Structure 1
Amino acid sequence: MLLPRLSFQEMIYDMTYIKKVILENFQSHKHTEILFDEHLNVIVGPSDQGKSAIIRGIQWALFNEPSGDFFIREGEKECSIIIYFSDNTAIKRYKSRSKNLYYYYDEFGKETIYEGFGLEVPKEIVDKIKIRKIFLSGKQSNAINISEQLEGPFLLSENTNTRANAIGRLIGVHIVDDAIKDTLKDKTNLNSLKKNNEEQYQNLSDDLKKYDYLDDLKRILDKFEIIQGSINEKQAKLEKLIGIRKDYIDCSNNIGNVKSIINRLENIDIVKEKSDRLNNCIRIYNIVNSKKVNLINIDEKINENLNILKYSSNIDEMGNILINLDDKTKKLLLLKSIDEKYRYINKNLSDSNLIIENLKTIYIVSNMTDDIEKNIHGLNNLSTIYKNLMDLDKRIEQGNNYIKKFKNISEGDLLVQNISGKLKGFNTFINVEKRYTDILSNINNTNKIIKDEKDNISLFLEEYKSLLLKLGICPLCLSKIDSKTIEKIISNYS
């Protein structure tokens, strides 16, 4: 579906413009409110009345220029600029000695605060108000919708080179120029890289010739590895046989001990039979003895009961005696308890005096205890050292027996050192070969990139040629050019 095209006048009326500006404590302005028209606005008045300060305040709010806080009114601690737009949105630029903020108010009055934005206007605000500076050439920019006093017309006050670059940017030619510059720069860098890679390739080729002997060295190394593997295998078998021999000796000793024990237990069956008979007799004796004890206990209880019945005739008199006896018994128990406590205190007192007497020389005992502990600690260390010494002697003896099996080990060491050196050279050769492969790959990739860049340059030159043919004028000096001149320009770039 095609949208209806707007006329230039309709596009102008559809654009957002500044409706109102409020300056608070900005340079000479204590509080100033200015209303703007939707068309051209010109600020006029006597000198030194703050006209430039108004323009400077608008630029400060829209472009965050100038920086610093020198524009805060003398005697005040903060300043702000509020700009209201025709779409009912607004921005506020606020600055104090400690705060640096942007405020954005949407058409519903919702506030958003921005801080920590540095020297640039927050991107969110630029995207919303859609007011930017126009780049003329390089980093040079200009605010085409705001002009200060005595400032010349747009582009007419600029030099020829800036005007040409600005017009080129307006029609998009600067993209082709930048692409050609970047392409030529990449081409130079790639040629330099290619030359360095070729030199490195030649140097590596010369270095590789020094390692032609490595193939023979590798074959010798393979043989040595086979011999080393055979030695390791036989060493493992030897250690395994030594362990089996030790287990065999232990088993032989255990068999002798077991046979000795078996010889001493030849009559074990007769002993077991007699032991069973003896256990049976003991069991019968325990049963008879238990019954005898029970019978004796019964006779004793009968005699006790008869005596009780004999003395029960005077039971009432005995009751009174028992009551008196109970009272006297309680008093006796109380006196006995007091006497025991008294004796216990006297005994503790005498023991304490004895302990105090014995502890007069306690410092001597303490010193003797410390000396004894030191001697015990030294004796334990000597015992540990003696044990370690015995273990070391045993290991040294085993090591000497083991070393005797390798009388010709020095020749093997020389061979290992020789092979280690050659192995190091072989590893170096492998690394060089890998670097050589990588360099070849880089050269191929570089050649491919150069070819692609040449193709891109050709395409850009064709597009540039077609653009120049359509324009018919030089984008730099604005003079007319023909097809012959265009061909000359293109040939200079190629």
Structure 2
Amino acid sequence: MIFTRLKLNNFKSHEHTVIPFDKGISVIVGENGAGKSTILEAISFALFKQHTGKKIDDLVRNNANSMSIELEFTSNNRDYKIVREKKSSLKSSLFKRTSSEGGYVHVCTGDKEVASEIRQILDIDSDLFLNAIYIRQGEIAELVDKTPAEKKQLIGKLLGIDSLEKAWKNLLPFITDYESQLAELNGKLYNSEELMENYKKKKDELESLKDRGHELEEQIDEVDGLLKEISENKRNMEREKEIYETQIKNLEIEEKTFAKLEDEKRMVQEELDKIREAEEEIDRLEKFVSKLDVYLDFEKSVTSIQKLKEDEKEIDDKLDSIAEQKEIVSNMKEGYNKYLSSDEEINKLSDQKNNLEKELATMAKLEKDKKELLQSIEDERNDIEKFFSKSKDKLDDYGLDQDILAKIDDF
């Protein structure tokens, strides 16, 4: 990271200050209170919002209503600019130059967003910056007058050792958990032979289930063939059923017609009886009336009788047709019964097919359980290998003797 330009407006003692940083080493010289440390604090504030005041308002120059800092720097051959402005509230923005001759383009706005981008660009955070790069005014001078214990504490603070001690304390629960996981993995190692035996048994069971599955698939194919054949027979029977039902309807219509004709026949018979009675009456009265009138009445009666005979013949023809329809219905009744029995057979085959499909689903679940078991064994084996690898690396880092490390490898 190389600073190229710093611009301060109403920042502490600097009213309007622009500092260009040339190539090479820059030295800031001035009397006490001239604002040398303020320049470094402005850089710290621009990068990480770190300052020595109790609040940000303490950074604003007296009798001023606003304050701003612009810091331009180069990192990884890219030019950046940070702008922090304090008016009613603090506004932070980050810009990046697109080319050597171009201007800056906006990257992000907001304290969290700018802080995140700065950490990614510089690959350091505020604590590392303060401990290793920038030491605040007075902290080195304070070290001279301290006792050895106080010097140790202050140096630890400057170098971040207290953070390391705190990190070590926070790490102890993880080490304990790590050791418990080690004991658990050692226990699993002793059970590996039992797991392999279970794996072999499961594998044998799976092979047996696969053979059974092939048999079930063949049976399902046979059942599917029978279902197709029965479905075809069912379709044929459904067509015959439709014909049969049509014949039944026709028969019902014919029966209604027959009943109607029976009524008409009865009425005709009654008319014939009346005609006979009339003929008898004519014969009795023939000697009392003129022959012409009797002849005319007789001719009408004959015509009526002929018409009634024609109606009787038509009725007999319809009765014959009804009898034929009854015979057809009787012949088709056997096929209809076969159709009903085929429905029962289809239901039985459907139940058989459902049972076979359930067995296949059970086999699929067992296959899935086998894969999960194999994956679990593989994961545990990988965990064990990672554990021994990490343990060896850690022990090597602690300077453990190579002979002992060799024994760990043997183990």
* TM-score where L is the length of structure 2: 0.44
* TM-score where L is the length of structure 1: 0.39
Relative contact order, CA 8 A, sep 6+: which one is greater? 1
Which has more radius of gyration? 1
